[in-house]
Structure formats: C-alpha cells, structure tokens
C-alpha cells in the first residue's frame, strides 16, 4: 500500500511537470506569436510610414516643380512680351523719322542746292538773273552786287552753295537713319546757323539795300522750311535714333501689353 501511494505520488508529480511544460510552451508560443505579430505590424506601419513619407515628398516635390515651372513660364512670357514690345520701338528708332519727312527735307535741300549753284554762276559771270526785275522793290542785280553780298570777303552765293552741299548730305535718308549722335547734332546745328544767317540777309535786303532778290528769297524760304522740319524731327524722334519724345512714348504705351 505504501508502494502504491508512492507510485501515485510519483505519477502525480510527473503529470504536474508535464502540464507545466505544456503550459510554458504555450506561453512561449503565445509570446512569440504576439512578438511576431507586433513586429509584423510595426514593419507594416514602418513601411506605410516610409511609403507615406515618400509619397508626401513626391507630392511636395511635384507641387514645387509645378510652381517653379509656372514661375519660369511667367518670367519667360514677361520677357517675351517685353522683347516684343521693345522690338517695335527699336525698329521704328532704326528707321528714323517718318519717310515723308526724310524725303521732303532731301528734296528741299536739292532745290536749295540748285538755286545756290545758279546764283554762284551768275555772281562770277556777272550775268543778270533770269526773270528777275531790275527796278523797284524786287531788284536782283542791286542785291547781288551790293556790299552786303559779301561776308568776310566771301560771296554770299558761295556760302550758300557750301551750306546746301552740306545740307544735301545731312538731309539724305541715309543720314536720317544714321546711328551716330554727332550726325543729328550737326544737322540741327547747321540749321540753327543757317536760319540765323538768313535773318541777317533779310534784314540787310529790307533795311540796308532796300530791295529784295527773288532767288535769294527762295533760298531763304527753303532754309526756313528745313529748319522747321528739322526742329520737329528733333522734338519728335530725338537727336539720335532711340531717343524719342512724347509722340513715340505715347505710341509705346499703346503697344505695351497690359498687366494680367
């Protein structure tokens, strides 16, 4: 009976140990499963986080790229509009004043040169001027042979010839389109000097000689018209291409693109 009790006690201890072993294994397996599940969840969360961060980065980068592209396009568009706006005034500046003004001044200078050549020939040949009266207020011979027909010992006809030789060159369309400022300054300076000399000759004819010469008067009129047209050109287009005054400035305002 004692042996039987010992056997039962031993069997009970063995069963308890076996149960404990099974329980420990289950606990271990449960902890491992939980750890594995936690690790898997963390991995998935980390992956999702990384994927989310990358997507967010790509989204931000995409937005920034589009913003940069729009800004670049805006700058390029503004630059293109500015270039187009500037191209028209630059082209107009290179062409100089209006073609009608260039042609008119050139033809007037040629006419003045022709009259000056004829007066110079008549002076040195001492021939009478065709179609000019020899008495009364209109007396060409009295004017061309007077002491006032010389300035500093030089015949006025020769001075007029030299002036209009220069005027033909400076009033040519090529001179009007020149880019050198000196040419345009020389034009306006020569016209100021010419109109000043004309005023002196008119005073001499009316108040000293007491007669006028039709050919001289025609030269005076041509010089006055050239002076007026040159002054208008200087005011409207500047003393050189690209230096414009309010007429071209108003035209540029009309051509300029309006702000968006």
Cα–Cα distance, 26 to 29 (Å, whole number): 5
Instruction: Give tens-digit pLDDT for 142-180.
Output: 999 999 999 999 999 999 999 999 999 999 999 999 888
**Which single residue is written with the structure tokens 């309006």?**
258
Residue that wins the pLDDT comparison between 230 and 41: 230
- Cα dihedral value 32, 37, 38, 42, nearest 10: 140
The pLDDT of residue 133: 78
Asked if residue 61 has pLDDT above 60, the reply is no
Burial of 217 (0-12, 13-18, 19+ CB in 10 A): middle
**Which single residue is written with the structure tokens 């001075």?**
159
Q: Give the DSSP letter of residue 240.
A: S
Cα–Cα distance, 141 to 147 (Å, whole number): 12
Phi, psi (rounded to 5 degrees) for 175: -70, -35
Length of the chain as a residue count: 260
Burial of 233 (0-12, 13-18, 19+ CB in 10 A): buried
Q: Of 98, 81, 84, which is closest to residue 244 (Cα–Cα)? A: 98
Instruction: Give tens-digit pLDDT for 78-125.
Output: 555 554 544 444 444 456 788 999 999 999 999 999 999 999 999 999
Are the beta carbons of 184 and 178 closer than 8 angstroms? yes
Asked if residue 229 has pLDDT above 60, the reply is yes
Contact residues for 128 (Cβ-Cβ < 8 A; gap 6+): 122, 134, 140, 141
Q: What CATH code is assigned to 97-255?
A: 1.20.1440.130
pLDDT band of residue 46 (cuts 50, 70, 90) is very low
* pTM beyond cutoff 0.75: no
């Amino acid at each position: 009976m004692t042996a039987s009790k010992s056997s039962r006690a031993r069997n009970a201890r063995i069963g308890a140990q076996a149960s404990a072993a099974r329980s420990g294994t289950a606990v271990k397996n449960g902890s491992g499963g939980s750890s594995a599940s936690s690790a898997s969840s963390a991995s998935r969360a980390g992956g999702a986080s990384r994927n989310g961060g990358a997507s967010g980065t790509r989204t931000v980068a995409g937005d920034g790229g589009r913003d940069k592209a729009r800004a670049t396009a805006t700058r390029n568009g503004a630059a293109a509009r500015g270039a187009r706006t500037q191209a028209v005034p630059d082209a107009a500046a290179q062409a100089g004043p209006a073609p009608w003004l260039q042609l008119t001044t050139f033809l007037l200078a040629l006419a003045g040169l022709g009259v000056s050549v004829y007066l110079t020939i008549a002076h040195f040949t001492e021939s009478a001027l065709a179609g000019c009266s020899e008495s009364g207020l209109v007396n060409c011979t009295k004017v061309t042979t007077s002491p006032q027909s010389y300035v500093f010992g030089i015949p006025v006809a020769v001075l007029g010839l030299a002036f209009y030789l220069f005027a033909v060159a400076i009033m040519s369309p090529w001179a009007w389109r020149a880019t050198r400022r000196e040419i345009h300054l020389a034009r306006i300076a020569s016209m100021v000097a010419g109109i000043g000399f004309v005023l002196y000759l008119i005073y001499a004819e009316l108040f000293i000689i007491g007669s006028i010469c039709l050919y001289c008067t025609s030269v005076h009129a041509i010089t006055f018209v050239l002076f007026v047209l040159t002054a208008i050109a200087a005011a409207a287009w500047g003393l050189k291409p690209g230096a414009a005054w309010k007429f071209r400035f108003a035209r540029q305002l009309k051509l300029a693109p309006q702000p968006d």
